[in-house]
Amino acid sequence: MTVTDARRVARRDKRRVILDAAAPIFGDEGYERASIDAIATAAGVSKPTIYSYFGGKEQLFRESVADSAVQQNAQVLEVIQRLDLSAQGWLASLRDLAMKLTECQRTPCAVFLARMIAAETARDPEVYRVVRVKAATPILEALAGRLAMLGNAGHLIVPDPALAARQFLALISAEIAELTEHGTRPVSDERVRAAVSAGVDTFLRAHAQASR
């Protein structure tokens, strides 16, 4: 490995350290309240270092959002790909998928993304766009694909898989915000499971085969 390579790796490492420090602070405080000072301290670097790596607060923020979106995407895609399509297993596996997706949504990373989209998209539409490109769309497409497979296999009626995917996500989280008081109250897994299940039930009823 050459000296230059070593430097490039060091750079990448420090980028990672800064991004990992930035996300929870942006997530907890919001864009405005989050101070570069706090991020620098948390990352164990000095402020000018952050400026040299990212250029400014806004850019750091965007990269932080994009980075979280990528992480979120990877996590969720893996979950989706595990859906069992077999005749015996698909139903239980779909319920399981719903729970796993809900867990992913309650990850600090996902909470951060959701908050930033809601809070900062009006100020900077790029925030929404980057999350859509790096997470929302791939996730929806993957989920739509899997639901289509369930349709093809004759387990469900899925005339519009993309729509079904969106509705699936909407239904399984329909009760979550109220249940957790927007993330300000801890809730037992039991109750989360019940809420998610109710969403899956409705989804299944809406897409059931006539015979069922």
Partner DNA sequence: TATGAATGAGATTTCATTCAT
Partner DNA sequence: GATGAATGAAATCTCATTCAT
**Interface contacts to DNA, rule CB under 7 A:** 3, 6-7, 10-11, 14, 33-37, 45-49, 51-53, 56-58
Report the candidate in 6, 15, 123, 120 with the shortest Cα–Cα distance to residue 67: 15
CA–CA dist 86, 156 (Å, integer): 12
Q: Is 102 or 173 the residue whose CB approaches its own copies more closely?
A: 173
Report the candidate in 148, 70, 155 with the shortest Cα–Cα distance to residue 109: 70
CB of 126 to its own copies, least distance (A): 10
CB of 29 to its own copies, least distance (A): 7
CA–CA dist 72, 77 (Å, integer): 8
CB of 125 to DNA, least distance (A): 19
CA–CA dist 207, 189 (Å, integer): 27
CB of 135 to its own copies, least distance (A): 12
CA–CA dist 78, 180 (Å, integer): 26
CB of 150 to its own copies, least distance (A): 16
Q: Is 17 or 91 the residue whose CB approaches its own copies more closely?
A: 91
Report the candidate in 43, 205, 177 with the shortest Cα–Cα distance to residue 111: 177
The listed partner (its own copies, DNA, none) that binds 10, CB under 5 to 8 Å by sort, is DNA
Site residues (vs its own copies, CB under 8 A): 27-33, 114-115, 117-123, 125, 128-129, 132, 136, 160, 163, 166-167, 169-171, 173-175, 178, 181-184, 198-199, 202-203, 205-207
Instruction: Report whether 184 contacts 170 (CB < 8 A).
Output: no
CA–CA dist 32, 24 (Å, integer): 14
- Angle 157-199-160 from CA coordinates, rounded to 5°: 30
The listed partner (DNA, its own copies, none) that binds 7, CB under 5 to 8 Å by sort, is DNA
The listed partner (its own copies, DNA, none) that binds 193, CB under 5 to 8 Å by sort, is none
CB of 42 to DNA, least distance (A): 13
Q: Where are the alpha helices (DSSP H) in the chain?
A: 3-33, 36-43, 47-54, 57-81, 90-106, 108-120, 126-131, 137-152, 161-172, 176-179, 189-206
The listed partner (its own copies, DNA, none) that binds 29, CB under 5 to 8 Å by sort, is its own copies
The listed partner (its own copies, DNA, none) that binds 108, CB under 5 to 8 Å by sort, is none
